[in-house]
A and B are shown apart, each in its own frame.
Chain A
Amino acid sequence: MNNKIIIGLIGAAVLGALYFMTSSEKTTDVAEKSNEVVKVGFVYLTTPGDHGWTYAHEVARQDVEKHFGDKVETTFVENVPEGPDSARVIRELATQGNDIIFTTSFGYMDHTIKVAKEFPNVKFEHITGYKRSPNVATGNIRFYEGRYVQGVVAGLMTKSNKIGYLASFPIPEVIQGINAFGIGLRSVNPKAEVSVIWVNSWYDPVKEADAAKVHIAEGADILAQHTDSPAMLQTAQKAGVHGFGQSSDMKAFAPKAQLFSSVNNWGPYYISKIQQMMDGKWSTGDGPDHWAGNTWVGMADDYLVLSPFENMPADVAKAAAQAAADIKSGKNKIFTGPIKDNAGKLRVPAGKTLNDGELFQTLDYYVDGISGKIPG
């Protein structure tokens, strides 16, 4: 009899997994189909209800509709897993006559390339990847710029000199963020140390809250996150410590704890690429220095926006504003030597700045100021 239950539970697990792979599709008809209307498709990893990554893309899609009015018709498919299933969804969107399709997560990369070959007349925009083909362009935001400013604020604010950091998965984008945070921290505070907990999930509010509690129990008084839910900030507020929000402004969740959020602003990117296509000027912008895509911009172009600096003394806010201004003006490129790893080894000599390719390929260490080792 136990066997039946075990088989039942295994079956349940399999079907449960299948369930997580299901996706739903919604179309918003803003205009009657005509030759003038450009059809734009979006593939979402989760739902806009995550109030994080996908929410930011949904806000951008609405910006597109506001900007172009009845000149565009947008369709989005949500909850699309990053596996072969995504190829099916992307193909379906192409078959439905979408002129340009944005695939908004790293894991869609190979599937976007594959489907793009079958539809040479459709334009594809892959977000955060690095592979391109004649009709696949890539776009990304320099998320790490905001994290440098976070490091500066954390270094000036901390009293215990212990900073807690929640990380999701050890991929280049996350490592860049941790190291930029560490460089920012060290620029103002020689003593503070960052402790990183890998939650191994982008989104698990309870586990994120648990990890935040552990950081606080270990003495951290400033928390940073590279996971998507507002749980960490809420935990921080309850415990009377401070932290930074992720992807969208999380002030509403923790008005007393949030120092600021780094907000992803994809709207201008989507609008400019759609406009390029309408004008017949769309290109993938191939070039040797574009490891992270032909469009990899950040605070200078307002693709990454910092929410107002709050819950900090005026001099800290001033230092943060200065740090942000220096990044915007290009005066501070963040990954400029001398950069030492946390074992004291010089990794980037003085005067050298890592280029985009190196940011993706050579950061296999934590900089000084971060404790521990990168897993894996």
Chain B
Amino acid sequence: MEALILTVLLTSVPLIFAASGELVAERSGVLNLGVEGMMLMGAVSAFAATSILGNPYMGILAGAVAGAMTAAVFSLFTLGLATNQVATGLALTIFGSGLSGLVGAPFVGGTVDGLPNLAIPLFADIPVIGNLLFNHDIMAYISIGFLVLVAWFLNRTRAGLVLRAVGNSHDSAHALGYRVLLVRFGAVSFGGMMAGLGGAYLPLVLTPHWSEGMTAGRGWIALALVVFASWLPSRILVGALLFGGITIMQLAGQARGWAVPSQMLSMLPYIATIIVLVLIARNRAFASVNFPACLGKIYISTK
């Protein structure tokens, strides 16, 4: 049982990274559908840096930088040239998938030593919980740290308030003298960095190799998680664990020979997501209270 819970926790880490980054971008009013592409760029860069430099910690850095740089391409078009965010985001996914395949071609078939586990002294010795919560690689800790940081930043800091203001009404924020495009650039770059880190977790921890398209749709799940979480960071954690938990549960169910068709079990995580979305949507106030009113809208500075 403990091993199963551990699997749930680890499989959720990339989703927590990517979704909490995307949440910040969306709260600033930018819908970036290129998460999958940014994750792939993060994954290939992390793998390349680790296999060249022989140090997985450099891989983390490379993944973050690659994700942020890919997001900067998105910013250039949507913020600088005011292109449609949906179309540009999709283009970014295609671009990221293609470029990561190209960059990664020489690395296909190789493997690296992934990140080691860092047990937190004392805490890791607590029975059961110690091993589950305090004996992970550094990125697992960082993912939770970032999630707390995002929640604190959005709700407890002045800069977070400005970011939310930009997302809710860019014209008002502009009238108050805030630099809308700069705030959004920062938010999108942060989102890219987090997606890059989420992608980097695959070759550095979960499956220490590189192959094309290895994220297999996790960027899209991260996007859905943001809506699922109704734009609240704490619910990202719940959503990611729920999604991971049901995924692992259905695999374990098969291994234990539950008499349910495996195709049905495979649908479970998605059905659960849809049910929760419906439940959330029933209460309009609840669903829309954190919804960034300017999400996806193009902003052109009027000076």
B-contacting residues of A (Cβ < 8 Å)? 1-2, 4-5, 8-9, 11-13, 15-16, 19, 22, 24, 46-51, 164, 195-198, 200-201, 203-211, 213-218, 229-231, 234-235, 252-254, 371-373, 375-376
Residues of A within 8 A of B247 (CB): 207, 210
Give me 20 other A-B pairs in contact (C-beta within 8 A), A8-B296, A12-B223, A234-B208 excluded.
Answer: A9-B223, A15-B90, A16-B220, A24-B98, A47-B212, A50-B212, A197-B251, A201-B216, A203-B216, A205-B209, A206-B14, A206-B215, A210-B247, A218-B256, A229-B207, A229-B209, A230-B209, A231-B207, A371-B257, A375-B261
In the complex, chain B residues whose CB is within 8 Å of the CB of A229: 207, 209, 211, 214
Does B202 sit at the interface, judged by CB under 8 A?
Answer: yes
Q: Name 6 interchain pairs, CB-CB below 8 A, sorted by A.
A: A1-B291, A47-B212, A198-B263, A213-B7, A214-B251, A229-B209
Least Cβ–Cβ distance between A340 and chain B, in angstroms: 18
| Complex interface: stretch among B68-76, B108-116, B119-127 | B108-116
Query: Are B218 and A206 interface neighbours, CB within 8 A?
Result: yes
Given known pairs A206-B206, A234-B209, the reply for A214 and B252 (CB within 8 Å) is yes
A210–B7 touching, CB < 8 Å: yes
Q: A8-B86, A214-B255, A373-B259 are in contact. Are A51 and B288 (CB under 8 A)?
A: no
B254 touches A50 (CB 8 A): no
CB atoms of A252 and B216 under 8 A apart: no
Cβ of B295 under 8 Å from chain A = yes
What A residues does B111 contact at CB under 8 A?
A: 230, 234, 252-254
Contact A213 B3, beta carbon cutoff 8 Å: yes
- Taking a contact as CB atoms under 8 Å apart, the answer to whether A51 and B254 are in contact is no
B residues within 8 A CB of A24? 98
> From residue 3 to 31 of chain B, which have CB atoms closer than 8 A to chain A?
3-4, 7, 11, 14, 31
Contact A19 B212 (CB under 8 A): no
Please judge, given known A-B contacts A205-B214, A218-B252, whether A198 and B207 are in contact too, CB under 8 Å: no
| B281 and A2 contacting across the interface, CB-CB below 8 Å | yes
User: In the complex, which of the residues A2, A197, A208, A252 contacts B288, with contact meaning CB atoms closer than 8 Å?
Assistant: A2
Query: Is B154 interfacial (CB 8 A cutoff)?
Result: no
Contact between B93 and A19 (Cβ–Cβ < 8 Å)?
yes
Known interface pairs A1-B291, A213-B7, A218-B252. Does A375 touch B263 (Cβ–Cβ under 8 Å)? yes
Task: Report the minimum CB–CB distance from A330 to chain B (whole Å).
Answer: 35
Q: Are A164's CB and B255's CB within 8 A?
A: yes
Give the distance in Å from the alpha carbon of A49 to the alpha carbon of B44 in the complex: 12
Residues of A within 8 A of B254 (CB): 195-198, 372
A203 to B203, CA, bound (A): 15
Q: B128-167 interface mask toward A, CB cutoff 8 Å, 1 = contact, 0 = none?
A: 0000000000000000000000000000000000000000
| Chain B residue with the shortest CB-CB distance to A205 | B207
Q: Which residues of A contact B207 (CB under 8 A)?
A: 205-206, 208-209, 229-231, 234-235
The B contact surface, by secondary structure, is helix
Residue of A nearest to B256 (CB): A218
- Does B101 belong to the interface (CB within 8 Å)? yes
CA distance A252 to B89 in the complex (A): 36
A19 with B101: CB separation less than 8 A: no
B234 contacts the other chain (CB 8 A): no
Closest to A4 in B: B296
Partner of B257, one of A11, A50, A51, A372: A372
Report chain A residues within 8 Å CB of B36: 16
Q: Report if A206-B220 is in contact (Cβ < 8 Å); known contacts: A19-B90, A217-B3.
A: no
Closest 7 CB pairs of A and B: A217-B3, A198-B262, A49-B212, A231-B207, A204-B216, A205-B207, A375-B262
Q: Which of A5, A9, A252 is in CB contact (< 8 Å) with B109?
A: A252
A206 near B202 (CB under 8 angstroms)?
yes
In the complex formed, the residue of A with least CB distance to B281 is A2
Q: Compute how far the CA of A220 lies from the CA of B107 in the bound complex, rounded to whole angstroms.
A: 31
Instruction: With A4-B296, A11-B86 as known contacts, state yes or no: A51 contacts B108, CB within 8 Å.
Output: yes
Q: A214: which B residues are within 8 A, CB to CB?
A: 4, 7, 248, 251-252, 255
Please, which residues of chain B bring their CB within 8 A of the CB of A254?
Answer: 111
B104 touches A49 (CB 8 A): yes
